[in-house]
Structure 1
């Protein structure tokens, strides 16, 4: 008695499920990669503005944004003083 899926029965159904999930996951990864690539151009423009700043200015702006704590900021300033 043939059960479909080319006579493989449950094995054919599981194999079909695995292949289908693989194709769906592959498509999702391609879409995510394409979106990141197109939106990545905008983030690079923001980092290029920092090239004309001194290290102290960058540390000060990071401290003002809350990216570093007071202790880390003071450590950066003392390291730059050397």
Structure 2
């Protein structure tokens, strides 16, 4: 007789190991999901006022023409 009391205890040990690995994988998946969702929230598009300021700055620097500036302002004020 061995110290485990029988030959079928090894299946219990293997089941415990598999169960532990499944829980560990689930925790890792949840952590990855949370990190990715946080990074999506921080990369939100600029608000209208910020976009208008950017358009004004670009127009002042001469990066866009008057027509392009007016089109941008009209689009952003919708």
Task: Please report the TM-score for the alignment, with normalisation by the length of structure 1.
Answer: 0.46
More helix by share: 1
Task: Please report the TM-score for the alignment, with normalisation by the length of structure 2.
Answer: 0.48
Structure label with greater radius of gyration: 2
The higher relative CO (CA closer than 8 Å, separation ≥ 6) is in: 2
